Structure formats: structure tokens, C-alpha cells
Amino acid sequence: MRVNRSFPALTLAVMTLYGQNPPVTYERLKNADKEPGNWLMYSSNYNSWRFSRLDRINTQNVSRLHVKWLFQARQEEKFETTPLVVDGIMYLTRPENEIHALDAETGRVMWIYRHRNPPRTYNCCGKVNRGLAILGNRLFMNTLDMHVVAVDAKSGRELWKTKMYDYTAAGGYAATGAPLALKDRVIVGMAGGERGVSGFLDAYDAATGKRLWRFNTIPQPGEPNFGTWAGDSWKTGGASTWNNGAYDPELNLVYWGTSNPWPDYNGDFRAGDNLYSCSVIALDGDTGTLKWHYQFTPHDLHDWDATQIPILLDGEFRGQRRKLMAWANRNGFYYLLDRATGEFLLAKNFVKQTWMKEFDDKGRPEVIPGNEPTPEGNDQVWPGVDGGANWMSHSYSPLTKLLYVFAREERRVFTKDAIRHPTTAAEESDRPAGRPFFNRRAPRFAPEESWGKVMAIDPPTGTTKWEHKVVSPPWGGVMATAGGLVFGGTFEGVVFALDAQTGRRLWHFAGNDKVYSTPISYLAGGKQFVSLPVGDVLITFGLD
């Protein structure tokens, strides 16, 4: 299980750099795996593995893990941040749009940057932010009022601030995800799939803040696949890009997942596949041109966003070595795609599902009737509205060659919404008045009706190697480490370390508040730490 014979040398290299704040070049980002002491981007590397190559905390000693320091955010919003750690400094976002630079060994704050949003912003699900990107000496953050800001990593001074879009347009736009930095630019997504927006993915010049390209996730008139939306529904179709993506430097392809089409639970006015909603898009990193796409859920009616983060891995599939993409989707299926061509290779459900009969050769699902939302509420659909997976990160370990997913098993009630146009707020009610819209016999979070599970999936086959069940469906993700461990936190705040081979829980800590994020691990002062937000506190654990 011990990896990396060159690890001490690498550590030494990082230690030497510590305190000097050398710039985080594109070369460093491409080779993020060679700096296991740092956490240089949202998903740890361009493959989105969220795998820590540190093994000082391991299966033998994890029982001694304990709290070393806290960051007390003192705020009421969900604390969804993934910190970055660069050469001993931790950078994290605190809601709404603050950046805090801390000493990663002690948690002491060094500087704070605050972007002030107007009082009314148009976020669907909390005034949250998920984190930062770094390139050179610059940190990049998206804001709720649709700006991208660049901040000097040493001083916290604002270097530029670019308006992405009018945040009050349509039903309201917002940006909550972490940017992705590559080459000389940052890739930035946006949110608003519940508010009748029109989705896009942008690239900005890291030095100047000038926009380099924009890809519209809903085809515009004259573009291919424009006709996949009935009438004018394309104008308000959603298909936002609110999470993070992955990047293949060799293919120069940016991979990003897109959200649901709008209106979420009523497809009456948007007949068609509604491309490129609930899809993965592969874009040229230089130009933003679409190379390929795959739609997981055509004409979605269940808010099953495909905004999970793509996991890139190379390996054998049916005897052939390929560049692969693994994806545990909100709709309850695990997918394997060829990431060079977008070819559908396989799909298999990883949670209970009721909606899909079979896939054709191209990966198009044949839908089972009876799963549509109804005005009075359809309570027979699995997975629930929050999906088998959601935005929380998964993790891939190159040591165990397993994909770790913190999955949600849940039945919920799907109610066909009345349509309310976002700009006029005029509403057509298609509901019988006075009826309750949740089935009284389907309580949402009763332990016997819904639960969570950490799963280890074999990527080439989609088979499950083990499952570790927990009380509630989670809102946090998992991180695998070279120490043979899988870290995560439950909805009740139980922070855990599982044996990556067996799923057995080897260590736990009762955090007693909700976890809405995914752990990271890093080195500071020569020691390994694991950090995770629990409630409004970022807890950092260590051994000594």
C-alpha cells in the first residue's frame, strides 16, 4: 500500500518551497500529483480524482487522528467550500463571497478579501460558494452577482473584477462553483437552472479578466441541435454549469456537466431532448468549441442535473486501452464514456431506480412510463429529486483502482409544477387547489425510507466492491488517500475514515452538524492534515 518511493524527496521539495510563495504555474497544475503536500485545485488534479498521495495518516495509525485546529466561520449559510492549500497557506471561501488566507498549520488568519453582493441575489439553494482556483499568484472566485474576481494570493488585494452577465436578467443568474484554471485562463460556470436562464460556460484571461470565449449550453438559432427545444423554450431553458469540471491537457479538452432544463418538473412547453441540458460537454480549451457531447437524461423532468464532476482515468475496457471518463450521475446510473470521442461504453445503476428500461448502443435511455411528476405528486420514483449523486465530489484511487461515491438512496415525491415565467411572474396553475403536495406517507428523511452509502465501484465494469451504509443521504463527498483510507462526513456530522479496501470504518469523529463539503488533505510544517467543513466550522485533523 505504501506508494511513491520518491515521496520523501517530493516532500523535501515542497518543504523547501514552503514560505517562499512561488507562483502556481500551469506546469505545476498539470503535475499537481507531484505535489502531494498541496491541494492546488478544487478536485485536486485535472482528472478530478480527489485522491491524496499522502500516506502518513494511514490504516495503521488513523485511530489516533484528532482535532488540531478550527476555522470558525460564524455564518448561517451552508459551508460548501473546498479550500486550496499552497505551500503552507490555506485559501478558503466563506459565504457569501469572502476569501480567507490562513496558516495551514495553525488556522490563524492572514488576510481576508470581501466581495459585497447586493442584498437580493438569485441563488436557488443558499448563498453558497464552493471554492477557488489559483494560477500564478492569483486566486479566482465566482460571485453570487455574476462576477469573476482575481485576487492577489499574497495580499488579498483585488486585481480585476469582470462582470460575466447581468445577474438580474431572466429569473436571475448566480455563480457558486469554483473556477478551473488552465494555461493562461480560468473556466467559469454559472447557475440559474431553476430560474429560466440560458446557460453558458466562459473562459477569462487570467491576467486581464477579458473574456476569451463563451459556449452557450443551449444551441442558438442556426447552430446544430437548435431544434431540440419546442417553440421559444430554448430562450429560458436553463442548462447551467454550476459546478466544477475536468481537463485533459493532452487532448486540450475541458469537460463540464450541465444542469436540468427549465421548468424542472413540467416539460409541456419544451418538447424535445433539450440539448445540451443534463449532459457532459467536451470543449476545446483554446476556443470553447464543442468537440462532443453526451446527454445522460434527455428531456429531464426530475431535476437530475448532470453537474457531477467528470472523473478521468486511463485503462482497459474490453481488452482495449482507452482514455475513459467515469460518471456517477444524479439520475442513479454510473456511466463509462470514451473521453476522446464521447462514445458511450456502459451504464449501470448504483442506487435503486425506477425510470430506465434499457440503453441503446448510443447510450440513449428508453424510459419506463409512469415516472413523470404529476400535479398531485408521484411518490413512486427512485432516485429522489436530489438524485443518487449530486454535486458532491467522488474520488478515484489509482492504488485500489476503485471509484468511491457517497451515494443517496432515497424516494421522494415529484410534483408537476405550475409554470411561472421568470420575467413576468405570471403563473398558470395546473394544480387542484388545496391539495397537499407531499405524500404524508412518504416522510422525507425517515431512516427507514432513505439512507446514504459510501460505495466502491470498479470503473471498467460498474460493479460494486463494497458499500458502507449511513443513516441519512449525504450532502458531502469523499476523498481517498494513499494511506489506504476514504474520508468523508455524514449529514449528522460524523466524520469518518473507511478502509479503502473493505469499507470498514476505522475512525470517526462526532462533528454534530451537517456536512456540505468534501475533505482535503495536505502537508504543513511537515505534518499531514485532513480538513472538512462541519456545520459552519472547518475542522482540521492531524496525528501529532
Supply the minimum distance, in Å, between the C-beta of residue 470 and other proteins: 5
Contacting residue, 400, 490, 518, 521, with other proteins by CB under 8 A: 490
What residues from 67 to 86 belong to the interface with other proteins (CB under 8 A)?
Answer: 76
Contacting residue, 341, 438, 463, 504, with other proteins by CB under 8 A: 438
Name which of 211, 241, 193 is nearest 148 in CA terms: 211
430 is a contact residue toward other proteins (CB under 8 A) = no
Binding mask 140-179 for other proteins (x = CB under 8 A): -------------------------------xx-------
Which of these segments, 63-71, 129-137, 200-208, 446-454, binds other proteins (CB under 8 A)?
446-454
453 is a contact residue toward other proteins (CB under 8 A) = no
The three three-digit cell numbers of residue 204, written as one number: 477569462
357-379 residues labelled b (16+ CB within 10 A) or e (exposed): eebeeebebeeeeebbbebebbb
Contacting residue, 75, 227, 314, 445, with other proteins by CB under 8 A: 445
415 is a contact residue toward other proteins (CB under 8 A) = yes
State yes or no: is 33 an active-site residue: no
The three three-digit cell numbers of residue 523, written as one number: 502537508
- Other C-beta atoms lying within 10 Å of the C-beta of residue 505: 15
- Other C-beta atoms lying within 10 Å of the C-beta of residue 440: 7
What residues from 183 to 202 belong to the interface with other proteins (CB under 8 A)?
Answer: 194-195
Specify the 3-state DSSP secondary structure of 195. Answer: coil
The three three-digit cell numbers of residue 407, written as one number: 451515494
Annotated catalytic residue, options 273, 303, 305, 386 = 303
Strands 51-52 and 505-510: unpaired
What residues from 109 to 138 belong to the interface with other proteins (CB under 8 A)?
Answer: 120-125
Contacting residue, 33, 152, 158, 492, with other proteins by CB under 8 A: 492
Q: What's the DSSP call for residue 418?
A: P
Task: Specify whether the CB–CB gap between 293 and 281 falls below 8 A.
Answer: yes
Nearer CB in complex with other proteins: 153/175: 175
Nearer CB in complex with other proteins: 156/476: 476
Nearer CB in complex with other proteins: 226/438: 438
Task: Say which residue the cell 439512507 belongs to.
Answer: 451
d(CA 422, CA 426): 8
Q: What is the size of the binding site for other proteins (CB under 8 A)?
A: 41
The residues, any chain, with a CB within 8 Å of residue 346's CB and separated by 6 or more, are 335, 336, 461, 462
d(CA 207, CA 162): 12
443 is a contact residue toward other proteins (CB under 8 A) = yes
Supply the minimum distance, in Å, between the C-beta of residue 210 and other proteins: 31
Q: What's the DSSP call for residue 279?
A: E
Name which of 395, 390, 405 is nearest 455 in CA terms: 405
At 198, the amino acid letter reads: S
What residues from 499 to 538 belong to the interface with other proteins (CB under 8 A)?
Answer: 508, 510, 512
Binding footprint of other proteins on the chain (CB under 8 A): 76, 120-125, 171-172, 194-195, 415, 417-418, 420, 425, 427, 429, 431, 433-438, 440, 443, 445-448, 470-471, 490, 492-494, 496, 508, 510, 512
The residues that are catalytic are 303
